Amino acid sequence: MRALASPRTSAKPDGGTRAGRGTRRRAWQYTGVPAWIYVVAALGALFILLPLTGMVAQVNWGQFWPLVTSESSVAALGLSLKTAAASTALCIVFGVPLALLLARAQFAGQRILRALILLPLVVPPVVGGLALLYTFGRSGLIGRTLELAGISIAFSTTAVVMAQTFVALPFLVLSLEGSLRTAGQKYEAVAATLGARPGTVLRRVTLPLVLPGLISGAVLSFARSLGEFGATLTFAGSLQGVTRTLPLEIYLQRETDPDAAVALSFLLIAVAVVVVAVTYRAPRSPLRTLLSGPVAERSDAA
């Protein structure tokens, strides 16, 4: 503790303006990374960065504003934000209990449950959409009964939210389960010996402690929902204002109006960047903790 604190305070006089922990120059340490690794890593980074640049270069800036404010574009963007928010909420509602069970409880079939929950990560979204369709569709396993009760899910906004939740849930569960395991159960045990009921422990100790993991999981889920395409198209179709989210709109426009597709793609990237940036820049941001790795998370508890 003391060893950590002293260099921070001593950095103030000579460090000048922003003598934070991050801006202070670290002493050179041996890393053991071969030089060629830098080259390959740079290629990898370029592989991500170049296509984005290529797309931005294609944006018709003169027409950008009219293109993204067209009726269909605004409807698609609005629908995307709305459904992604709703599916993120659903991911939190179902994901938190799932993560808690996976990280804390001991029961038979735990590993099978984890494998099942992670399935949407590896299954192609189109297949996920088909699965949803054959379950909740008009003639599906459950959909048939629902249909009799007058509830029709497929090809509605509800279907969009369900498709997005289906593919985004594993992101939240994985992220939160990791945080729960890192946090450990020591604090929960202490809280229990202080007289806190399990519900109180969850509300006042467990969830606050894993809040960074929960938020980063929610951000990941939101981003995944925002980009959902295959499952949505299969299960919900592409009806303007009802089920045609931004990715579907982009795919549709690509055939008829490539300029509009590029502009909307740029918009989607911008929305994603804004979401990530806002979460990252918030004071004591959990995303920052996530991005700077698990070591930073530990220092808080020590």
Partner 1 sequence: MTLHLNAVLAARNVQISLSVAPGETLAIMGPNGAGKSSVVQLLAGLLKPDSGTATLDGKTLFELSPGSAWLPPHLRGVGVLAQEPLLFPHFDVLDNVAFGPRSQGAGRRESRETARRWLAEVDAAGLSARMPSQLSGGQAQRVAIARALATDPALLLLDEPMAALDVNSTPFLRSLLKRVLAGRRAIIVTHSVLDALMLADRTIVMDGGHIVESGPTATLLAHPRSTFAASLAGLNVLPGTLSGSSLVMHDGVQVAGQPAVGPGAGRAGDGAGDGAAPVPEAAGGMDGMAAFPPSAVSVFLEPPVGSPRNCFRVHVTELQPQGGHIRVRAGDLAADISPAATAELALEPGSEVFFVVKAAEVVLYPA
Residues in contact with partner 1 by CB under 8 A are 1-2, 186-187, 189-198, 200, 204-205, 208-209, 300-301
CB of 208 to partner 1, least distance (A): 5
Smaller CB separation from partner 1, 193 or 256:
193
User: Is residue 51 classed exposed, middle or buried when 0-12, 13-18 and 19+ CB atoms within 10 A define those classes?
Assistant: exposed
Smaller CB separation from partner 1, 63 or 182:
182
The contacts of residue 244 (CB under 8 Å, 6+ apart) are 72, 75, 76, 79, 238, 252
Smaller CB separation from partner 1, 146 or 192:
192
Smaller CB separation from partner 1, 31 or 193:
193
CB of 116 to partner 1, least distance (A): 29
* Gap between the Cα atoms of 19 and 12, Å rounded: 5
CB of 41 to partner 1, least distance (A): 34
Smaller CB separation from partner 1, 134 or 187:
187
* Gap between the Cα atoms of 265 and 246, Å rounded: 8
Smaller CB separation from partner 1, 25 or 186:
186
Other residues' Cβ atoms within 10 Å of the Cβ of residue 150: 6
* Gap between the Cα atoms of 162 and 293, Å rounded: 32
CB of 302 to partner 1, least distance (A): 8
* Gap between the Cα atoms of 90 and 76, Å rounded: 21
Smaller CB separation from partner 1, 190 or 273:
190
Q: At what angle do helices 35-58 and 258-281 cross, to 10 degrees?
A: 130
* Gap between the Cα atoms of 168 and 226, Å rounded: 10
CB of 293 to partner 1, least distance (A): 18
Closest to 85 (Cα-Cα) out of 93, 186, 177: 93
CB of 101 to partner 1, least distance (A): 18
Helix, strand, coil in percent for the chain, rounding step 5: 75, 0, 25
* Gap between the Cα atoms of 141 and 149, Å rounded: 14
CB of 299 to partner 1, least distance (A): 8
* Gap between the Cα atoms of 73 and 31, Å rounded: 49
